[in-house]
Amino acid sequence: MQEVQYTSPNFIIPVAAITIYFFLWTYVFAQRRRSILNLAYLCFITQPLLWAIGALVVWISSDLDKVQIIQRINAVWWQGVGFFFLNFIYTYIEKKRKAFFWIQLGVYIVGCIVGLTTKGIVAGTEVFIWGKDVLAGPLFMPAALVNVILPISSAMYYLWRYQRTAKTPRLKSQCILILYGSTITFILAIFSDAILPEVFHYTKHPQLAFAMISIQSFFIFVAIIRYNLMTITISDIAKNLFANAREGFIVLDMDGIILHINPAAQDIFGCSADDVQGKSVGEIVEEYPIQHDFWDKEIVYDNNSKTLSLSQSTVIRNNTPVAKILFLRDITHRKLLEKLEIEQKRLSAVKEMGGMIAHEFSQPLTVIQVTADEMLEMENSSIQKMGKAIDEGCHRITGLIEQVRTISEVVLKDYVGDVQIVDIQRSSHTSSDDT
């Protein structure tokens, strides 16, 4: 067992890096632990966190055999920085994972195996004035190229191309911050851990790539705080909408079996999720048309006490229908208001008609009444009889006109066949007062 008694104040560097990474890891984890984007970032930031912990152990340990083991394990973490950053960017820009991504995953796994089991990447340990570091093996630079430089530069290219077409200023600002932080980190890390020691053989200062990722972490933290990176996603909005919407949502499989039902739909149907999940939607909505999508289909429910508006759409995944979403609203109150509005318009029309009749009929009716009075004063009994009949008819017409003029509601009665007419006596408040 080889031991080197060595103490250096440089251990403060990995301690500071660990503190920064752990703070950001904890903060992101607390935001939305179930978010796919957050999970992708947590996987990425875990790599430099573990890398920094390994670097701290290497710098303060005096057992060179143990140090070499830690350095081989660290090869997993620093190679993982490239792949998991690529995975984070793929998730962020919602890029479909094709051959390049899966090849990069395979190369990363191979690099991890080679780093852990051979001296191809980590050949040993070198002791410098500032501490201890890796003695690079023949595969160190190829591993850095294919597992770090290639995936990170590809991810930055994808992100740069994505921000050019970003649809909102907020999204563009997020992309720019990630690009700036990643570019600065990438350049400094490559210069510190690859170009200086391997190209120029300069070893008077420690290699700090594991700590320089904290620069990128700062930019991402600003994006989180200022532009809501990783805090508001479509998934979050959909879940919140499903749980808190006033309208009802029911998710069905293609056979009409209820998979999910939100609280609003449970209130409308007077049931709980446990009561209906796994059952056919036809058990709560009779003759439900699952085969075809529709919009604003009105049905009556609960012994005609409720009127519901139903709409259905199909969920498509990879050009294949996978589910149906039933959107429903309780429009009972709206239908009642519509009915009242129709009755008010009908009443207004009838009142206008009644006013017109009273006005237009009053003058000719007065002439007829005067004529009837004169006929009643004549000595001819036949004329008197005719005058009396006319007088009675005038009084009846006058009464009907008064009833039409004082209509306060529209009450219909059957007439011939399916035809209905206004019941003047029941519609007029005059007849109610007489009663």
Q: Are 420 and 413 in contact (CB under 8 A)?
A: yes
What pTM, to 2 d.p., does this model score? 0.57
Domain that holds residue 353: 346-434
In SS3 terms, 274-319 reads as HHHCCCEHHHCCCCCCCCCCEEEEEEEECCCCEEEEEEEEEEEECC
For residue 241, tell me if it sits in a domain: no
Are 174 and 136 part of one and the same domain?
yes
Query: Strand 306-317 vs strand 122-128: parallel, antiparallel, or unpaired?
Result: unpaired
Are 74 and 155 part of one and the same domain?
yes
Are 98 and 231 part of one and the same domain?
yes
Residue 153: what pLDDT? 93
Calculate the average pLDDT of the chain: 82
Q: Are 377 and 364 in contact (CB under 8 A)?
A: no
CATH number at residue 34: 1.20.1070.10
Are 200 and 296 part of one and the same domain?
no
Residue 76: what pLDDT? 92
Structure tokens at 325: 């979403």
190-217 per-position pLDDT tens digit: 888 777 776 777 767 777 788 888 888 8
Q: Which residues contact 156 (CB under 8 A, 6 or more apart)?
A: 89, 179, 182, 183, 186
What confidence tier does 101 reach under pLDDT thresholds 50, 70, 90?
very high
Query: Strand 412-414 vs strand 248-252: parallel, antiparallel, or unpaired?
Result: unpaired
Order of strands across the sheet that contains 306-317: 258-261, 248-252, 320-330, 306-317, 294-301
Are 280 and 403 part of one and the same domain?
no
For residue 70, tell me if it sits in a domain: yes
Q: How many domains does the chain have?
A: 3
111-167 per-position pLDDT tens digit: 999 999 998 888 877 776 666 777 778 998 899 899 999 999 999 999 999 988 887
Q: How crowded is residue 382: how many other Cβ atoms within 10 Å of its Cβ? A: 9
Sign of CA dihedral 208, 81, 46, 188: positive
Residue 356: what pLDDT? 79
For residue 26, tell me if it sits in a domain: yes
Q: Where are the beta strands (DSSP E) in 302-403?
A: 306-317, 320-330
What confidence tier does 236 reach under pLDDT thresholds 50, 70, 90?
low
Taking the C-alpha atoms of residue 88 and residue 111, their distance in angstroms, rounded to an integer, is 20
| HSE-up (13 A, CA, CB side) for residue 63 | 6
Are 178 and 38 part of one and the same domain?
yes
Which of 303, 330, 357 is the C-terminal boundary of a domain?
330
Taking the C-alpha atoms of residue 287 and residue 281, their distance in angstroms, rounded to an integer, is 9
Q: Are 407 and 354 in contact (CB under 8 A)?
A: yes
Supply the DSSP string of 26-93, one letter for each residue.
HHHHHH-TT-HHHHHHHHHHHHHHHHHHHHHHHHH--BHHHHHHHHHHHHHHHHHHHHHHHHHHHHHT
CATH number at residue 427: 1.10.287
For residue 193, tell me if it sits in a domain: yes
Picking from 108, 104, 90, the residue whose alpha carbon sits closest to that of residue 162 is 90
What's phi and psi for 328, nearest 5 deg?
A: -135, 145
For residue 95, tell me if it sits in a domain: yes
Taking the C-alpha atoms of residue 190 and residue 193, their distance in angstroms, rounded to an integer, is 5
Buried b (16+ CB within 10 A) or exposed e, 246-275: eebbbbbeeebbbeebbbbbbebbeeeeee
Which of 270, 302, 330 is the C-terminal boundary of a domain?
330
Residue 5: what pLDDT? 43
Which of 188, 215, 236 is the C-terminal boundary of a domain?
236
Among 15-24, 117-126, 227-236, name the one with the lowest average pLDDT. Answer: 227-236
CATH number at residue 306: 3.30.450.20
Are 65 and 135 part of one and the same domain?
yes
Taking the C-alpha atoms of residue 213 and residue 16, their distance in angstroms, rounded to an integer, is 12
Are 52 and 84 part of one and the same domain?
yes
Tell me the Ramachandran region of residue 136: left when phi exceeds 0, alpha when psi lies from -120 to 50, beta otherwise.
Answer: beta
What confidence tier does 1 reach under pLDDT thresholds 50, 70, 90?
very low
Query: Which of 27-41, 252-266, 302-316 has maximum average pLDDT?
Result: 252-266
Query: Which of 24-33, 104-113, 216-225, 267-276 has maximum average pLDDT?
Result: 104-113
Structure tokens at 275: 């009561």
Structure tokens at 40: 């992708």
Taking the C-alpha atoms of residue 221 and residue 216, their distance in angstroms, rounded to an integer, is 9
Are 294 and 382 part of one and the same domain?
no
160, containing H or E segment: helix 150-164
Taking the C-alpha atoms of residue 290 and residue 8, their distance in angstroms, rounded to an integer, is 72
Taking the C-alpha atoms of residue 332 and residue 348, their distance in angstroms, rounded to an integer, is 24
Are 64 and 179 part of one and the same domain?
yes
Q: What type of residue sits at position 347?
A: L
